[in-house]
Structure 1
C-alpha cells in the first residue's frame, strides 16, 4: 500500500511540474492577476489586496498585469485608464496591452501602432505578435498576419498557444 501511494504521489508531483513547465513555455506566466478589484482599484501583489490605483505603492508591473486582466474582462476603458498611471508606459507588455484594449474598442489602427512599438522593444514577445496578427486579420491583411504567424513559429513553435490562436483566426477569416 505504501509503495502504491509513493508511486501515485510521484506521478502527481511529476504532472504538476510538467504542467507548470508547459505553462511557462506557453507564455502563461503573463496570465492576468486573479482577483477582480472594484473600479478605480488595482491588485497589489505585495499586500495581496486591492488598493486604489492612484497609490504610489503599486509597482508598474502590477498595474500592467491588472490592466490586462481588466481588458480580458471587457473593461477596456478602465484598462487604458490604469495604463495611463504607469511611471514607465513604454514597456513591451504595457504597449501590447494598450494595443489589445484599443483594438477591442474598435480602434484597430491605433492598436496596431502600439503593437508595432512593443515588437520594436521585444521582437521575441510571441503574445504581441499574435495580437498584431489578429489585428491584421481584422484589417483583411492576411499576408501580414501570416508573417506574424511565421515569427511566432520561430519564437515558440507551432504548438504554442499564440501560434494556435493566430492560425485559427487566419483560418476563420479565410472561410468568410
Structure 2
C-alpha cells in the first residue's frame, strides 16, 4: 500500500523550474511518465515508482515536489529514503517548516547538520526558519557558517542573504 501511494505521488505533474538543492546547478528532472511511474535517469525510461530506486533519483523527485509546493507528497517520498541521510533530514526539515511545524523542522535540520556539518542547504533552510522567527542574529551566524564551509556564491548563500534583507523566505 505504501508503494502504491508513492507511485501515485510520483506520477503527478511536477514543476520544471529551477529548484534549490545542495549546490546543484541543474533544474530538476522533467519526467513525463504515466501514472504509477517515475523517470529513471540511469535507464532513461519510466520505471515503477518504489523504494528500490536509487537515492539520487528519489532525491530529485523530492526536490521537484517541494518546488511545486507539494510538501506532503514530498514527505511520502522521503519516507522510503534512507532516514539517516543528511539530504533526507534536510528536506524533512524543509517540508515540516513549510507545513508550519517549525520546532520539528529545526530538529531535522540539527540532525542533518550532526550528520554533515558542511550541509549548506540545511544551514540555509534552518536560517530561513530563524528569519521567520525574527532571530536574525542566528540567521547571520548561519550565513557566516555557510561561507566558512565554502558556500559563498551558492544558492544557499544568496537565498539566505535575500531572506535576511527582506524578511521573505523561499518556498523551495
- In the alignment, which of 59, 69, 72 is matched to residue 67 of structure 2? 72
Q: Between Structure 1 and Structure 2, whose CA radius of gyration is higher? A: 1
Aligned residues: 147
Structure 1 position 41, deviation (Å): 4.3
**TM-superposition CA deviations, 1:28-73 (whole Å, max 9, x none):** 25753332656754332222234332263x1122112211211111
RMSD: 2.3
The DSSP-based 3-state class of the residue aligned with 2:167 is: helix
State the partner residue of 2:30: 34
State the partner residue of 1:94: 88
Cα distance change on mapping 1:118 and 1:31 into 2, 3 Å: farther
Gaps of 5+ in 1: 1-25
Higher helix share goes to which structure? 1
TM-score scaled by length of structure 2 = 0.74
The 1-side partners of 2:64 and 2:91 are apart by: 10
Gaps of 5+ in 2: 1-21
Cα distance change on mapping 1:44 and 1:172 into 2, 3 Å: same
Structure 1 position 82, deviation (Å): 0.7
- In the alignment, which of 140, 144, 152 is matched to residue 138 of structure 2? 144
TM-score scaled by length of structure 1 = 0.73
Instruction: Kindly indicate whether structure 1 or structure 2 has the higher relative contact order, using CA contacts under 8 Å at least 6 residues apart.
Output: 2
